[in-house]
Amino acid sequence: MYNSNPTLEGLTKVIDPKKQGEVYGQTDNNNQSSEPERKFYIESYGCQMNFSDSEIVASVLSDSGFGPTRNLEEADLILINTCSIREKAEETVRKRLRIFDKVKRNRPGTMVGVLGCMAERLKTKLLEEEKLVDLVVGPDAYRDLPTLVGTAESGQKAVNVFLSREETYADINPMRLDNNGVTAFISIMRGCDNMCSFCVVPFTRGRERSRNAYTIVAEATDLFQRGYREVTLLGQNVDSYKWTHPETEEVFSFARILRMVADVHPDLRVRFSTSHPKDITDDVLFAISEYENVCNYIHLPVQSGNSRVLKLMNRTYSREWYMDKVKRIYEIIPDCAISSDMIAGFCTETEDEHRDTLSIMEYSNYSMSYMFMYSERPGTLAERKYQDDIPEAIKKRRLQEIIQLQNAISFNHNQRDIGKVFKVLIEGDSKKDKNDFKGRNSQNKMLVFPKKDGLKPGNYTYVKVQSATSATLIGEIVE
């Protein structure tokens, strides 16, 4: 999820394992009827998918009489939606759990629950060995939360880490947390069948499944009617979206769902994340270029620029294949921005192979990237088959080189925008100065510009860029 540090957190809340825990801000409370008796507090880590899941959790809980609170101290139920993608992510969660444990001791009766990928990975371990938590609930078991809370209240172990082949929460209307009233996420699929050798996601999220296309369009329509102007379609691999109508057996591809959501209204911007390079089709690229409201921005994680390493990573494409894909994107959508994820120091990576990553970054001209040191994860293919043999110091240095290069590329990318006029969706006040608005252009770049009377968040305006850093474009509204 993204948070505007291009070296770490995405500008939007892109499927983003790097984002630190966040408590929601305002909710739109669309699920709330009367004043709830009990309160839940939820903190989310990891990718956008997790943030989106927390909104499903909030909806389920609010239907069973729990209301949201931002205040840890007044919560009856403390939940932490966790990420397992790298060791560090798990360490952060463990630290938080110890803090929650203290809160619990000061306030007996308070329950603590672990949700998400760590719940799935560690299962009952969290209850039995560490005794820090009362509930453990995997990503496909959120409907069961009210029952599990009851079980925990009666003093029993409350665990559901069952992974489903069907669950998509298609019918649940998420309670929008951390809400700006302008942009929202819509989960369109769950799980991942790709088995990249470094990755825990297939183990924590289970098999890939796609959500009913009509419920996606209904959710987008409802959001638009409530004033939202941008939706991001979410999945670990959105391009392999495939839903078959149970009666007509009609098949809906990702390109098709993209067009269907874009057709909701020309003023509803559509984004999506994440694309696996092997699955993004020309049809998707044509949909982006046909529709003004489908944003010209693709997050296309490369992971490595070297074919041998890509093979070890089980990414199923080579350096050349990826470069052709990038070329194709710029052919069909000349002003498209592409961003990426890179892993430094994967098993057996040589200096030359590392330099292949640097050169593919230059070739692809990424507007920004998420960059990581390889972190071995238990149970993954890489953990079982390869040795994590690159010393920490070398991983760090390679990562530093990747970050430095990306900063330079992003800076140049943004410098080239000086003098251009962009259509910008206003998202709210700039963090630094309340006299400025912030908003994004189609390429997902953040623009900051002085406010103008009559304009408010959710409006579109045109902004001419006057200067730029590696993270932000600074400009002025033009008529």
Residue numbers at the binding site for ligand SF4 (CB under 6 A): 192, 194-196, 199, 201-202, 236-237, 276
H/E segment holding residue 155: none
- From residue 214 to residue 253, the character string flagging contacts with ligand SAH as x (rule: CB under 6 A) and all else as - is ----------------------xx----------------
CB of 1 to ligand SF4, least distance (A): 13
Q: Which of 207, 192, 205 is nearest to 239 (CA)?
A: 192
Secondary structure class of 465 (helix, strand, coil): strand
Residues whose CB is less than 8 angstroms from the CB of residue 421 and which lie 6 or more positions away in sequence, other chains included: 462, 463, 464, 465, 478
From ligand SF4, ligand F3S, ligand SAH, none, interface partner of 377 (C-beta below 5 to 8 A by class): ligand SAH
Closest to ligand SF4 by CB, 316 vs 407, is 316
Q: Is 116 in the site for ligand F3S (CB under 6 A)?
A: yes
Tallying the residues shown for the chain, one arrives at 479
Distance CA 291, CA 244 (A): 24
Query: Contact 253/280 with Cβ under 8 angstroms?
Result: no
Q: Is 50 in the site for ligand F3S (CB under 6 A)?
A: yes
- From residue 270 to residue 299, the character string flagging contacts with ligand SAH as x (rule: CB under 6 A) and all else as - is ----x-x-----------------------
Distance CA 460, CA 88 (A): 39
From ligand SF4, ligand F3S, ligand SAH, none, interface partner of 202 (C-beta below 5 to 8 A by class): ligand SF4
Closest to ligand SF4 by CB, 126 vs 196, is 196
Distance CA 463, CA 419 (A): 10
Distance CA 205, CA 119 (A): 11
Q: Which residue has the tokens 């996601």?
A: 201
Question: Which backbone phi and psi does 424 adopt, to 5 degrees?
Answer: -125, 135
Q: Is 268 in the site for ligand F3S (CB under 6 A)?
A: no
Tell me the residue type at 471. Answer: A
From ligand SF4, ligand SAH, ligand F3S, none, interface partner of 46 (C-beta below 5 to 8 A by class): ligand F3S
CB of 331 to ligand SF4, least distance (A): 25
Q: Is 45 in the site for ligand SAH (CB under 6 A)?
A: no
Q: Do β-strands 242-244 and 251-253 pair in parallel, antiparallel, or remain unpaired?
A: antiparallel
Query: Could you say which residues in the range 204-263 bind ligand F3S, by CB under 6 A?
Result: 204-205
Q: Is 85 in the site for ligand SAH (CB under 6 A)?
A: yes
Angle, nearest 10°, between helix axes 213-225 and 254-262?
20
Q: Is 322 in the site for ligand SAH (CB under 6 A)?
A: no
Do you find a cis peptide bond into 274, omega within 30 degrees of 0? yes
Burial class for 217, CB neighbours closer than 10 Å (0-12, 13-18, 19+)? middle
Closest to ligand SF4 by CB, 237 vs 443, is 237
Closest to ligand F3S by CB, 21 vs 181, is 21
Distance CA 8, CA 1 (A): 10
CB of 139 to ligand F3S, least distance (A): 8
The residue within the footprint of ligand SAH, chosen from 121, 259, 377, 445 (CB under 6 A), is 377
Q: Which of 279, 294, 287, 298 is nearest to 338 (CA)?
A: 298
Report the chain's C-alpha Rg in angstroms: 22
Q: Is 136 in the site for ligand F3S (CB under 6 A)?
A: no
Residues whose CB is less than 8 angstroms from the CB of residue 327 and which lie 6 or more positions away in sequence, other chains included: none
Distance CA 78, CA 75 (A): 6
CB of 119 to ligand F3S, least distance (A): 10
Closest to ligand SAH by CB, 219 vs 341, is 341
Q: Which stretch binds ligand SAH (CB under 6 A): 128-136, 356-364, 369-377, 438-446?
A: 369-377
The residue within the footprint of ligand SAH, chosen from 7, 187, 240, 303 (CB under 6 A), is 303
Distance CA 409, CA 342 (A): 14
The residue within the footprint of ligand F3S, chosen from 201, 300, 329, 361 (CB under 6 A), is 201
From ligand SAH, ligand SF4, ligand F3S, none, interface partner of 372 (C-beta below 5 to 8 A by class): ligand SAH
Query: Contact 430/382 with Cβ under 8 angstroms?
Result: no
Q: Is 440 in the site for ligand SAH (CB under 6 A)?
A: no
Using CB under 6 A as the criterion, which residues of the chain lie in contact with ligand SAH when the complex forms?
15, 17, 85-86, 198-199, 201, 236-237, 274, 276, 301, 303, 341, 343, 372, 374-375, 377
